[in-house]
């Protein structure tokens, strides 16, 4: 079931996704060699609660933390840990969700820890570009496959892998609503995009082979070949005049360049 949102509901979702962006900015300020992923999770939980919201991931299907933090070969759903210490050269994907005023925010960003290898930097850039290419297709009258194909084509053009097992999704009062938004597909196929839909577009792109394995902790998804992966996520409303991005990466980028 696809729920169309009113203008007022879209503004509540923007509030959520701006809070997620602010939270990711705050996390980004603390990302450096020596910090534990558990510490980043505590910072995010405090920040979210101090803004009157609730961490949407905490307890979701039993997930034990407020952030998913996935380092290097971990693609998504990494569990923050006091034993996981970030090191110079790591790339760290942080996924964050909030619940505020009856709606959910859900966005993700991949950060560099200190100086990272040029190949890792390139993977991050291309993954973010793939997100922008997909977002440009999020228009009423297009189909989900137009978004999917734009993401896939951009990543594969650079020789990267596109993870098949996980996908973007509709978002609203619940974190995961219809339709699914895969990162691969064919133009002109899939559900029709309509004004009032809100979707999360979230490319998960691998430097090597696209195959992933699910770790025994029940959550962490990593690349089978243990090469790095990147993950960026926008919440996007389909509006009369085109895609309306509810997430604000400029807050995050300002914070990490301070």
Which residues of this chain interact with Mg ion, rule CB under 5 A? 95, 106, 108, 200, 233
- Minimum CB–partner distance for residue 170 and Mg ion (Å): 10
d(CA 48, CA 115) in angstroms, rounded, equals 29
Geometric angle at alpha carbon 28, from 27 and 29, rounded to 5°? 90
- Minimum CB–partner distance for residue 155 and Mg ion (Å): 18
Quickly count: other Cβ atoms within 10 Å of residue 6's Cβ.
Answer: 9
- Minimum CB–partner distance for residue 218 and Mg ion (Å): 18
Q: What is the 3-state secondary structure (H, E, C) of 57-95?
A: CCCHHHCCCCEEEEECCEEECCCCCCCCECCCCCEEEEE
Q: Of the candidates 166, 194, 196, 195, which has an alpha carbon nearest to the alpha carbon of residue 181?
A: 166
Is omega for the bond preceding 42 within 30 degrees of 0, making it cis? no
Shorter beta-carbon distance to Mg ion: residue 22 or 233: 233
Q: Of the candidates 243, 169, 246, 151, which has an alpha carbon nearest to the alpha carbon of residue 205?
A: 151
Shorter beta-carbon distance to Mg ion: residue 68 or 155: 68
Shorter beta-carbon distance to Mg ion: residue 106 or 248: 106
Shorter beta-carbon distance to Mg ion: residue 22 or 95: 95
- Minimum CB–partner distance for residue 126 and Mg ion (Å): 19
Check if the beta carbon of residue 72 is closer than 8 Å to that of residue 80.
Answer: no
Shorter beta-carbon distance to Mg ion: residue 123 or 200: 200
Shorter beta-carbon distance to Mg ion: residue 12 or 108: 108
- Minimum CB–partner distance for residue 231 and Mg ion (Å): 8
Check if the beta carbon of residue 40 is closer than 8 Å to that of residue 69.
Answer: yes
- Minimum CB–partner distance for residue 187 and Mg ion (Å): 23
């Amino acid at each position: 079931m696809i729920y169309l949102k009113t203008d007022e509901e879209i503004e509540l979702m923007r509030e959520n996704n701006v809070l997620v962006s602010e939270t990711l900015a705050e996390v980004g300020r603390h990302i450096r060699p020596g910090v534990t992923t558990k510490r980043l999770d505590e910072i995010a939980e405090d920040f979210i609660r101090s803004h009157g919201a609730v961490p949407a991931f905490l307890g979701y299907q039993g997930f034990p933390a407020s952030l998913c933090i996935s380092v290097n070969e971990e693609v998504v759903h990494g569990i923050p840990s006091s034993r996981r210490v970030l090191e110079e050269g790591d790339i760290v994907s942080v996924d964050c969700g909030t619940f505020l005023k009856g709606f959910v925010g859900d966005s993700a960003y991949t950060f560099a820890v200190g100086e990272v290898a040029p190949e890792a930097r390139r993977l991050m850039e291309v993954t973010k570009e793939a997100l922008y290419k997909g977002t440009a297709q999020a228009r009423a009258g297009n189909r989900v496959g137009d978004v999917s194909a734009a993401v896939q084509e951009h990543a594969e053009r650079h020789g990267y892998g596109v993870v098949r097992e996980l996908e973007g999704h509709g978002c609203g009062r619940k974190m995961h609503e219809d339709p699914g938004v895969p990162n691969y597909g064919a133009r002109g196929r899939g559900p029709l995009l309509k004004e009032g839909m809100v979707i999360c577009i979230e490319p998960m792109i691998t430097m090597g082979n696209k195959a992933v394995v699910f770790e025994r902790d029940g959550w962490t998804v990593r690349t089978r070949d243990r090469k790095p992966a990147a993950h960026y996520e926008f919440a996007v409303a389909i509006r009369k005049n085109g895609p309306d991005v509810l997430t604000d990466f400029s807050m995050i980028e300002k914070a990490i360049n301070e």
